[in-house]
């Protein structure tokens, strides 16, 4: 059924979480000694983070997060059909469930890979394993804060011979773009993007562009994010030479949904030949911050235009081999990174030139956003069940 690479997704960022609000009796908070980036005199340490679980209704398991100016949008997974759910709320303890209209059989079983919202629109990608080979069957969704419906696609749009996995979705201006992989016309797999006309998605040509692999260089992208009116992809390049293989971090940028794409190789100050990858990015008006790993340890970069710099002084955090760091979170001039670690999750904070690190909420981090005066995080346990956490910034 085609070649499917392991495509991972996701990273971090710069803020702290708002106190959890619940109609039920809240579980004990998890307090961190990690400094926070609330407004304070220079040199004064911020108050500790206090992570509290935020209950969801009807035994739902949190999967992914996004937000707009008014609310947090939680993609969740339930025990009964249809399994996907979308909830919106502000932390007041009241959740409103959006109406979903699944149409295909796999839409009733789908688990969200990414949910995005912009200018009142909501778009999402979900997947459920099926078929003789247990490959993902992908579903795409679109709507508003009132209701979201599946947009059925012919099987060959995201499946059939040569298909790789999908990773996620982001907006270039007002246009949604899906990121994934597809068999190259030259070597291995290309990074693939899909754009939408009306309700129909179409894959763009990658071979022969910076998104295409060659016999000397294999490309892979694990995350997509908006960058102004354009996009940024995070991933790696595998350089093949006689007697050597080297994996280096890279990002790709485009001014709009249709390209052209530019690859930016990220430096690694540590040197060496250990594998290094970019996991995810967050972009503001003038810069992007990227999280990833170098030699199995957490690393961060700043990208301005086509120039990239690895940030100094980050504490040593070993990221498990099968895990990915979340996109950095921006909070004023500070940076918050939530990364998986041997302790479950670690929270790293940059204030000025100084980094600090502390234990994060229980579980492996899967998604995070800054909203209002807090940071919201989804973590998963060993069974894959998700918990939503929140901590106040000030």
Could you read off the pLDDT of 137-165 as tens digits, one per residue?
Answer: 999 999 999 999 999 999 999 998 899 99
Determine the pLDDT at residue 331: 83
- What's the rounded Cα separation, in Å, for the pair 162 and 266? 29
Q: Yes or no: say if 271 and 285 are a contact pair by the CB < 8 Å rule.
A: no
Determine the pLDDT at residue 121: 96
Query: Going by DSSP bridges, is the β-strand pair 99-101/147-151 parallel, antiparallel, or unpaired?
Result: parallel
Joined together, the tokens standing for residue 219 give: 């490309």
Determine the pLDDT at residue 227: 97
Give the C-alpha distances (Å, rounded to integers) separating 197 from 23, 102, 224, 284.
Answer: 42, 20, 20, 27
In sequence order, the 6+-apart residues with CB closer than 8 A to the CB of 321 are 296
Q: Yes or no: say if 360 and 338 are a contact pair by the CB < 8 Å rule.
A: yes
For 93, counting Cβ atoms within 10 Å of its Cβ (0-12 exposed, 13-18 middle, 19+ buried), the class is middle
- What's the rounded Cα separation, in Å, for the pair 265 and 273? 15
Counting as low any pLDDT under 70, the low residues of the chain are 1-48, 92, 270-271, 394
Determine the pLDDT at residue 358: 87
Specify which residues 71 forms β-bridges with.
Answer: none
**105-131 burial by CB neighbour count: b if 16+ within 10 A, else e?**
ebbbbbbbbbbbbbeebbbbbbbbeee
CB atoms within 10 A of CB 152: 14
Give the start-to-end residue ranges of the domains of the chain: 30-382
Determine the pLDDT at residue 394: 58
pTM: 0.87
Coil, strand or helix at 198? coil
Determine the pLDDT at residue 104: 95
Domain spanning 30-382, CATH architecture: 7 Propeller (2.130)
- Strand extents, DSSP E, 5-120: 30-32, 49-53, 61-67, 72-77, 84-89, 96-97, 99-101, 111-118
**Phi, psi of 105, deg, nearest 5:** -60, -40
How many CA within 13 A on the CB side of residue 128? 17
Query: Going by DSSP bridges, is the β-strand pair 84-89/72-77 parallel, antiparallel, or unpaired?
Result: antiparallel
Joined together, the tokens standing for residue 45 give: 């340490």
In sequence order, the 6+-apart residues with CB closer than 8 A to the CB of 178 are 125, 140, 166, 168, 169, 193, 194, 201, 224
């Amino acid at each position: 059924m085609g070649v499917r690479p392991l495509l991972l997704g996701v990273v971090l960022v710069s803020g702290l979480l708002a106190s959890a609000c619940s109609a039920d009796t809240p579980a004990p908070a998890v307090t961190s000694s990690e400094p926070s980036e609330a407004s304070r005199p220079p040199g004064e340490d911020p108050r500790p983070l206090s992570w509290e679980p935020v209950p969801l209704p009807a035994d739902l398991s949190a999967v992914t997060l996004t937000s707009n100016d008014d609310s947090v949008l939680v993609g969740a997974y339930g025990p009964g059909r249809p399994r996907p759910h979308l909830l919106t709320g502000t932390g007041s303890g009241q959740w409103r469930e959006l109406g979903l209209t699944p149409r295909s059989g796999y839409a009733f079983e789908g688990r969200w890979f990414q949910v995005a919202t912009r200018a009142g629109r909501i778009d999402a990608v979900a997947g459920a394993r099926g078929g003789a080979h247990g490959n993902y069957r992908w579903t795409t969704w679109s709507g508003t804060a009132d209701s979201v419906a599946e947009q059925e696609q012919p099987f060959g749009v995201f499946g059939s011979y040569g298909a790789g996995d999908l990773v996620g979705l982001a907006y270039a201006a007002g246009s949604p773009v899906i990121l994934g992989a597809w068999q190259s016309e030259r070597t291995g797999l290309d990074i693939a993007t899909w754009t939408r006309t009306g309700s129909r998605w179409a894959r763009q040509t990658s071979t022969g562009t910076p998104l295409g692999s060659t016999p000397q260089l294999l490309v892979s992208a694990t995350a997509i994010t908006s960058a102004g009116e354009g996009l940024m992809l995070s991933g790696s390049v595998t350089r093949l030479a006689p007697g050597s293989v080297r994996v280096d971090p890279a990002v790709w940028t485009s001014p709009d949904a249709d390209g052209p794409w530019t690859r930016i190789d990220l430096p690694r100050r540590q040197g060496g030949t250990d594998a290094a990858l970019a996991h995810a990015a967050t972009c503001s008006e003038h810069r992007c911050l990227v999280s990833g790993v170098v030699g199995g340890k957490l690393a961060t970069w700043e990208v301005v235009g086509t120039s990239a710099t690895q940030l100094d002084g980050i504490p040593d955090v070993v990221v498990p081999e099968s895990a990915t760091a979340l996109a950095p979170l921006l909070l004023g001039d500070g940076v918050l990174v939530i990364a998986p670690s041997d302790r479950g999750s670690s929270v790293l904070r940059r204030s000025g030139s100084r980094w600090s690190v502390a234990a994060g909420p229980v579980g492996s981090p899967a998604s995070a956003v800054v909203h209002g005066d807090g940071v919201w995080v989804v973590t998963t346990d060993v069974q894959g069940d998700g918990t939503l956490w929140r901590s106040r910034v000030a």
